[in-house]
Each structure stands twice: as C-alpha cells, then as structure tokens.
Amino acid sequence: MLSISTNISALMASAEISSINIAMEDSMERMSTGKRINGARDDSAGLAISSRLNSSLIGLRQGIKNAMDASALLNTAEGALNEVENIVQSIREIWVQAANDTNSAADRTNLNTQAQQLLVEVDHIARSTAWAGQNLLDGTFTNKTFLIGSEATDADKITISINIPSFVELGVDYSVEVTSATARTHISVLDEAMQVLNSLRGELGASINQISHVIESNTNAASNLAQSISRIDDADYAVEATSLARFQILQQAATTILAQANASKQNVVTLIQG
C-alpha cells in the first residue's frame, strides 16, 4: 500500500539507527575505560563476581604489606639479638680469662670493669631497639599479633613475643669480689644466657621463614586473582574494535536506507501530479 501518513520503512530504519547508536556508545565506553563491565546493566552476575574477587584481592595485597612489615620488624629484632649475642660472647671471653689464676686481684677488677661496660651496651641495645616507635627488646613487645593474610582467621595470624632476660635474672652479681670461682660461675650464667638468646633467635628465624613463605604464596594468589578479575572485567580491544567498525558500517547503511525511505514518498507527489 502506498501511503504518506506512516512511513514504515523510515520508522524501521530510524529504530535500527537508534539501536546501533546505543551499541556504538557501549562499545566506545568499553574502549575508553578499558572495562567490559562498566555497570550492572553490562553483566550483573559478572559484576557481583568481580566485586567479590576485588575485595579478596585488596585484602590479600594489604596482607602482603602487613607480612612484609612484620618481616622487617622481626629482622630488626633478630639483628639486634645477633649483636647482643656477640657482646655476650665477648663478656664470656673476659670471664674465661678472669678464671685463670695467672691474673692478680687488680687484673680481675679491671676485667670485671670491662664486662660491666659491655653489659651497659647490652642494656642500651635492649632499650633502644625499636621499630615504628615500638620497643622490641625491653620486655614490652609481648603477644603481638600480625595479620599476614586477607582474612581474620587463625591461619592468617601469627603471634610473637620478644624478650631477653636481664643478667640479674640469670643470677649474675658483679658486686662480689672477682675470684676464679666467681668467674667460673659467671661463665655458667653466660652459657645459660647464650642458650636463651639462641632459642629466641631460632624462634624469630622460624617466624621470618614462615612469613617469607606466606608472602610468596600470597603474591602468587594475588597474581592469579588479578588474572581472574581481568578475564571478567577487562575489555577485549580486538573484539571491541571489530564490533565498533561493524556498528559504524551498519550505521552508515541504516542512514542511507532512512534517506531512501524518506525519498520514496516523493513517488506519491509524482502520482498526484499525474
């Protein structure tokens, strides 16, 4: 039927152009943002999955940072304990020398003075060793919990206590007269102190190794999570470029058809003019 009131062809072409323009806008948005999902309308299920994965990834990355901070803290403490152990070894060497009866009372007094000076340095290390404002070796760093994973479960936490005993607690009394016997007593006490230090350093070393493995494991997990999110979220530029080119061609074709549909009604004028 030849009619001028309703141009069906033009309406269909116009609707197709509108649909193509929306598709082009979506494609250009994905190419400009680099994201396949820019809103719930793009992929509501994918958006929900991506959101959960992103939450896990953010937590995992922060857990890695926490673990690296914990490792740095423990390495600081372990380094200080290493220096304390070196000093204790030097003090023990002094008492081994003092235990020898070739030394006079004056010699032993001088050796005792050297030992006490070294103990002052041990005390200084214990009071001054700190990380981010927290003292590590003065007995206050106890039951500290490090969250080294992405969750708050026991598997993601590690609890540490760092404390070195004072030599008074171990039974060292430098106020008594230094004799061969007291020197041997001091040697025994220092041996006990060495055992305590070695035990503590062993615990710290085990914790540092544990944290290192956690960092490596979480880094791999974060990488895999990021890849999974990318597959869901990120736009495929090859696909989008192909789609955009296709829509541009369809737009041009639909525009041409619309012009022809509008022009076709000119035949009615020709018919009327006879």
For residue 162, the domain's CATH number is: 1.20.1330.10
Residues 199 and 77 occupy one common structural domain: yes
Q: Residue 17 domain-assigned?
A: yes
- Number of other residues whose CB lies within 10 A of the CB of residue 173: 11
Domain annotation covers residue 39: no
Q: Which domain holds residue 174?
A: 55-233
Higher-confidence position of 178 and 227: 227
My answer on whether 132 and 228 are in the same domain is yes
> Is the per-residue pLDDT at 71 higher than 90?
yes
My answer on whether 219 and 99 are in the same domain is: yes
Beta strands at 134-135 and 130-131: parallel, antiparallel or unpaired:
antiparallel
148 plus 251 within the same structural domain: no
Give per-residue pLDDT as tens, 106-147: 998 899 888 888 888 888 888 888 998 889 988 888 889 988
The answer, yes or no, to whether residue 154 has pLDDT greater than 90, is no
Q: pLDDT exceeding 90 applies to what percent of the chain?
A: 19
Helix locations, the chain, DSSP H: 8-33, 44-98, 105-128, 180-233, 237-264, 266-273
264 — pLDDT class (breaks 50, 70, 90): low
Of residues 195 and 41, the one with the higher pLDDT is 195
**Domain assignment of residue 36, yes or no:** no
**Whole-angstrom Cα distance, residue 230 to residue 78?**
40
Give me the mean pLDDT over the 214-228 stretch. Answer: 91
Specify whether 72 is located in the same domain as 103.
yes
Residue 69's pLDDT band (boundaries 50, 70, 90)? very high
Instruction: Give the count of domains, the chain.
Output: 2
Shared domain for 140 and 253, answered yes or no, is no
**Taking the model in full, what pTM does it have?**
0.73
* Residue reference for tokens 């999974």: 228
Is 41 inside a domain boundary? Answer: no
Same domain? 91 vs 169: yes
Asked whether 146 and 160 are in contact (CB, 8 A), the reply is yes
133 and 251 fall within a common domain: no
Mean pLDDT over the full length of the chain: 83
